[in-house]
Amino acid sequence: MTTVVTGGAGFVGMNLVEALLKRGEDVVLCDGGALPPAAERALKPYGKALSVLRGNVLDPQFLQKVFSGRRHANVAHCAAVTSSPQREAREPAAIMEVNLNGTVRVLEAARQHGARRVVYVGSSSLFGESLFRLKSVHEESPVFPETVYAITKHAAERLCGRLRELWQIDVACVRLGTVIGPWERNTGARDRYGTHSQLVDLAVRGETAILTPREIRRDWLYAKDAAAGIIALLEAKSPQHLTYNLSSGVEWETPVMKWCAALEAAFAGFHYHVAAAGETPNVSYTDQDRCLLRNRTRELCNNAGLNHPQGNASWQTRFDWDLSAPTSSRPGLPSRIFPRCGRVRMSS
């Protein structure tokens, strides 16, 4: 089976590409940006199983090249602009162009070339205020997207549903929770840099992390588990729904402090403390507390022989990811920079 991955050089895309290649599948990685050297090294052993095509999802000619000769392929549409408030104020039309029209272009090309299934990789941010007011959200919970990014992700999801009906194509949408793990980097399309990756950069430089007085509440989703969930949806025989939430569905207990402790043990010179009165933190969180994301992906994962993050015992040790995708501030890192950081206890 061949899988086309748009946005394949991005955070989630790279984890998905790796997971597919490890399963012995052929992958077409499409992205507007070049692969970083670390990614080229990591993917080199897969040889001809991987095709890397650089171009824009808004370009019909590029998409024709991507899909040419690849009928009945699976498609994971990960390409998007993950925008900050500053970018949203500066260039809302450009964000909408990629996140909305780019999705339509990919669906058109997939339809024309007889793709087996398209999985649109969306975001739980579309729930908006529901994430902050409810104890948990499920797929049918009310959505109140507020940011330009969240609005476009919701609109693109609805476009997928409408075009699935009109064109009779196989499309499903996954809504990712807050993803952490390897391959997060500044690609020019991702403005929000995750808390855990910020801490890694400080650790590599031997600097001190100054944390906010309290941690935010999140059901963090390990990037490799996100990839497994997407694969499960790609391979499902006949998904019964348009939308699927994907997150751990559990609340981590002080995960950032435990992550800091693991980094401090691994990197000489790195230390951390909570900001004292009048002291400015140098580590930011994405926003405020969010409720748990309930999901119906467990059955899909079980049917595909994949581990589901919710309730999976190995999930408790997922903070041991390897930094195989160093940014420019992480020169010369070995493929694994530290061992497992111990069991992280969770409360439901």
pLDDT digits (tens, 9 = 90+) for 35-90: 989 899 999 999 999 999 999 999 999 999 999 999 999 999 999 998 888 889 99
Would the pLDDT of 240 be above 50?
A: yes
Q: Mean pLDDT across the chain, nearest whole number? A: 83
Which pair of structure tokens corresponds to residue 252? 């981590």
**300 Cβ neighbours under 8 A, 6+ residues apart:** 229, 232, 233, 236, 239, 244
Does residue 132 lie within any of the structural domains? yes
| Residue 40: C-alpha distances to residues 2, 9, 29, 165, 348 (Å) | 20, 10, 12, 39, 39
pLDDT at position 272:
94
Task: Write out the residue range of the structural domain in which residue 325 sits.
Answer: 189-219+252-290+315-347
Does residue 301 lie within any of the structural domains? no
Same domain, 86 and 214: no
Distance CA 289, CA 134 (A): 11
* Cα angle, residue 344 at apex, residues 339 and 347 outer, rounded to 5°: 165
Q: What is the dihedral of CA 44, 46, 47, 50, to 10 degrees?
A: -100
Structural domains in the chain (count): 2
Query: What's the farthest any 2 CA atoms get from each other in the chain?
Result: 62
Does residue 10 lie within any of the structural domains? yes
Distance CA 320, CA 200 (A): 12
